[in-house]
Structure formats: C-alpha cells, structure tokens
Amino acid sequence: KTDVQSILNKLGIASNNPAFSTGSEWGGASNAGIIDSFSPVDGHKIASVKVTTQADYNSVIEKAQNAFIFWKTVPSPKRGEIVRQLGDALRHHKEALGTLVSYEMGKSLQEGFGEVQEMIDICDFAVGLSRQLYGLTMHSERPSHRMYEQWHPLGIVGIISAFNFPVAVWSWNAALALVCGNVCIWKPSEKTPLTAIACQKIIAEVLQANNIPEGVSNLITGDRTIGEFMSNDNRIPLISATGSTRMGKEVGAAVGARLGKSLLELGGNNAIIISEYADLDMSLIGAVFGAVGTAGQRCTSTRRLIIHESVYDAFTAKLVKAYGQLKIGDPLDQNNHVGPLIDTDAVKAYLDSIEKCKVEGGNFIVEGGVLQGDKYISGCYVKPCIAAVKNDYKIVQHETFAPILYLIKYKTLDEAIALQNGVPQGLSSAIMTLNLREAEQFLSNQGSDCGIANVNIGTSGAEIGGAFGGEKETGGGRESGSDAWRAYMRRQTNTINYSNTLPLAQGIKFDL
Ligand code: NAD
C-alpha cells in the first residue's frame, strides 16, 4: 500500500501550503481563499493550498519582470545547462512525483511515472535545443549588404494548465520557454495544485544551487479568476493555455483583445478508422488503451471508432470481450486497468452524456454506470462503456472527458475520412490498415484534418520529439518538439549595410 504521507514529505508538501512562489520564496495573503485537494482514488483530503490574491499576483509579476532582465542575458547554452539539471532532479524525484500524480489526479501509477518521464525527455530535448535556436540568413538584393534573422525571448510566458496532465504540460512549456530566455508564471489546474507545488520545489532547488535570482520560475495557485488576471495582463506577452475549448475561446478572446500571443491546446474528439485491411488484434490494443487509458481523460483519448462494415461485427465482439476483462479500481494498484474520474462533477458529466446519447438513439452494447462499494468510496469510479451511434449526434460532436466510446460503421474510405473529420475538434486521428493506398490517402491533404495523424498506432500517447497540438476547436497551438520553440520567441530581421553608399530597396532613388 502506498504511503502517501512519506511521498508528501519527500516532495515537501505540507498540509497547508502557501499560494505562490517566485522560486525559493513562498507567500500568500492571510485573507486569501483556500483550495482543498481531494484524491479521486479514495476521496481523502490530501492537503490545502491558499489562493493567490490580486496583490500577490502583482508582486509575482514584478519579480518575474526583474528576473527577465537578468535571465535573457544568460547565454542560451548556459540556460540549457540549468534545464539539464532540472531533468536530473526530475529523474531523482520520478518515483515520488509520479506517485503523487497518480494519487492526486487518479491516473495509473505507470502513467504517472510516464508523465514524469515525458518531463525528463523534454528537458533533454530543450538542452540540445539551447544550441540550436537557429535563424535563417538571406541574400540581400543590395550589394555589400547582409540580411539575417534572429530569435529573441518574449519576456514572461504565462502557463495555464489542465488537471489531466498536471505536470507534463508545465514542463513542455517551461523547458522550452526557459532555454529561449523567457521567465515563466504557471497557474496549474485548481484540481491538481499539489503536484504543481512539488514541481516548483524541484525547480527552485536547481535554480538556487546555481544562484539564479527569484522570479525565473513562478507558481500561482487558484481557479480561473487567476487565469483571467493572466490573460488580461499585457505584461505577459504569451499565454500558453491547455484545457477545454470553452476556456480556450475565453483566453484567446482576452489575449487577442490586447493583441498578445496565445498558444492554445484544447479539446479533442479523436477517432480511429478500423479498415477492412486492419490487423484486428493490434487495432484492439490501440482502441482499448486509447478509450479507457487515464479513464478517457486524455485530450487524445479515443472517443470514436469508425469501423468498416465488413469487420464491424467481428471487431465489436472483440471489444466487448476486452471490456469484460477490464479491472477498474485503485490506480496505484498495478493490476488495475482503469482508475477514477477526477471528481464527482466529471461523473455527473459522464452520466449526463450517456443519457443524452440514449435520447438521440445511441445503442449501448457495453453499459456504463457508477461503481459502488468500499473499493470505490470516492464515488469517482465509472464503467467504461460503448455505444453504437451516428456521427452527427450532438453528443458525439462534443468531447465528454470520460471513457465513453462511440462506434460508427462505414462503407468507403472517403466516407470514413469525412466522418473522422466531421467534428468541430481536430487533435488526434489514426487509421488501422495494412493497405498502403489507404494509409497514404489518410495522411495526404485529402485525409485527416488533425494535428496528429497516425497509421497502425492509436490516437493517444504522443512522443515529445514531434510538435503536439491540433486544428479547428483544438486551438491551433503546437508545443513540445520540432520547431515549437519558435512560439516562445520573437523574430527579428536584420539588414546590415557594409558599403559606403545607401542604396534603397527595390531600386528606389531618393537624392538629396
Ligand atoms: P478547463 O478548461 O476546465 O481548465 C483548464 C485550465 O484553465 C485550469 O487551470 C483553469 O483554472 C483554467 N481556466 C478555466 N477557464 C479559464 C478562463 N476563462 N480564463 C483563464 N483560465 C481559465 O480544463 P480541464 O477540465 O482542467 O482539462 C480538460 C480539458 O483539457 C479537456 O478538454 C482536454 O481535451 C483539454 N486538454 C488538452 C490538451 C491538449 O494538448 N490539446 C492537453 C490536456 C488537456
């Protein structure tokens, strides 16, 4: 049995925690509100956190502004060295932090460790990147002129994160933003504040050991009100926000109104096409892990299976059998496949979606429901379920953050691709096929309209090396690998004249 108290002690989490941190310094007004963090695993209150007030918030911003003046002058490879040490510190704390992720958020222990591994991986990636923040050089049309572009840091990067990847999303943003020369202010989800405090303690130790001043990595806790301080604040040039499409529309509008930059990572409605040429055994693993992993609470969770009519019955039978074998329970027990939803509001949303689906005509071939009994005392454990539906049902067009899997039958690949694309979101997509023509069509510009398109892999579980994000209501942002770093910098074009005349561009004459 996991000794939660020893994990909390190892990570420096007290029973009452302050509201904000600028590094090693922590604080919070005495009259501030309190957030209690309850574990969805067993319903226990883990600890409390104070909420950041407007005055606290302003003092953090001032620290961050001052820190930026210093941090941007540190050479990028030296900033990379700090991020390398952060990666090492995370290696050291992987077990404790991964366990707290599992206990506070409810994902399986393996996925908790996996999330910390992603943090380590992005640190490694960022270290290499710190010597590769390349700009292009161009040939000038004027003689004895040189043109090039360079990338400069933006300033304060505001990070607003969701509950379901409570620590990895911060690191995707922070590791890149820091090597790019920015300072960060992180507002984690109010549902998972303790894992955020643990991360802040880990990075603060690294910064302090290197005599980096306060204000380079900052944490502020609270609900959306604190997020709104950030999106309306023109002292924060970039807001990177991960969460629901509803949130993204609000943040995007607020940041847009002040002509700031936003990087939005929002909801998905991800489908796997199971073709007549699919390897059905492999497809089964991809589909079931995609649909029930993290209890269906990944932005890339598989929500829809679009199945060819010729394999529909055979594949459905396999699915029903596999669902019958799923073990639901304590995610810290590695024998279980499915843990709890984040809270009882999420359970209500799950039940509500099942009802709506039935009203629209959905036929449940694996029934859902809330689990009762001693093992499920938190009230957050639900049964993964499967319904045969039509793609245009309102509920199917909507992202329900729970393990509800919708099945849709198709005849032709063109029809399957149209169904896959026929939702407002555009995050992750996949096709299971051994047919080269089908695979290539799916990946072509006549295929998937998503930011992520896979062949013979499910929709969930991306690697950090690629750019991560999606189109349409998913928000258009890209984080993590490839050239996602550019979002954290401003581009400057430079032209240098080393001749002794001043020729104008386009041959324009201007004689005095
Ligand atoms: P949420 O939208 O309720 O909250 C996310 C964060 O935004 C929280 O920190 C919250 O306090 C803050 N927030 C909410 N409204 C705000 C506002 N108006 N202004 C400023 N901040 C605001 O999302 P959630 O329930 O925590 O997470 C689940 C959602 O996140 C799902 O839709 C999921 O698909 C999405 N998600 C997307 C990605 C991705 O990379 N595309 C990754 C993880 C999660």
pLDDT along the chain (512 residues), means of 10: 90 96 93 94 97 96 98 98 98 98 98 98 98 97 97 98 98 98 98 98 98 98 97 98 98 98 98 98 97 98 98 98 98 96 98 98 98 97 98 98 98 98 98 98 98 96 94 98 98 97 92 86
CB count in 10 Å sphere of residue 210 = 13
Is the four-CA dihedral 356, 359, 362, 365 of positive or negative sign? Answer: positive
**What is the model's pTM?**
0.98
* Ligand 1 pocket member 193 (CB < 6 A): no
Cβ count near 483 (within 10 Å): 12
Residue 244 Cβ inside 6 Å of ligand 1? The answer reads yes
Q: Round to whole Å and give the CA distance between 425 and 438.
A: 23
> Which pLDDT score, from 0 to 100, does residue 460 have?
86
For residue 171 and ligand 1, the question of a CB distance below 6 A is answered with: no
Atom 30 of ligand 1, nearest CA residue: 243
**Atom of ligand 1 at shortest distance to CA of 468?**
40
Q: Where are the alpha helices (DSSP H) in 28-186?
A: 54-71, 76-105, 109-129, 168-179
Ligand 1 centroid – CA 248 distance (Å): 7
- State how far the Cα of 101 lies from the Cα of 193, in Å rounded to an integer: 10
What is the predicted pLDDT for the residue at 30? 78
Q: What 3-state DSSP class applies to 134?
A: coil
Nearest CA to ligand 1 atom 14: 224
Q: How far apart are CA 87 and CA 365, in angstroms?
A: 45
Mutating to test ligand 1, I would choose from 52, 118, 160 the residue with most ligand atoms within 8 A of its C-beta, which is 160
Residues 151, 136: Cα–Cα separation, whole Å? 10
Handedness of CA 157, 209, 98, 341 (dihedral sign): negative
Which amino acids are annotated catalytic? 265
State yes or no: ipTM above 0.85.
Answer: yes
Residue 130 CB–ligand 1 contact under 6 Å: no
CA of 284 to the centre of ligand 1 (A): 29
d(CA 441, CA 176): 34
pLDDT of residue 389: 98
Gap from CA of 380 to ligand 1 centroid (Å): 19
Q: What pLDDT, on the 0 to 100 scale, is given for residue 1?
A: 66
The pLDDT assigned to 32 comes to 83
* 242 CA from centroid of ligand 1 (Å): 5
- How high is the pLDDT of residue 166? 98
**How many whole angstroms from its chain centre is CA 159?**
11
Q: Do residues 177 and 155 touch, judged by C-beta distance below 8 A? A: no
Measured between alpha carbons, how far is 264 from 157 in angstroms, rounded to an integer? 13
How far apart are the CA of 188 and the centre of ligand 1, in A?
A: 10
* Ligand 1, pocket-test mutation among 111, 122, 247, most atoms within 8 A of CB: 247
Position 29 scores a pLDDT of 80
Spatial neighbors of 333 by CB under 8 A, at least 6 apart, are none
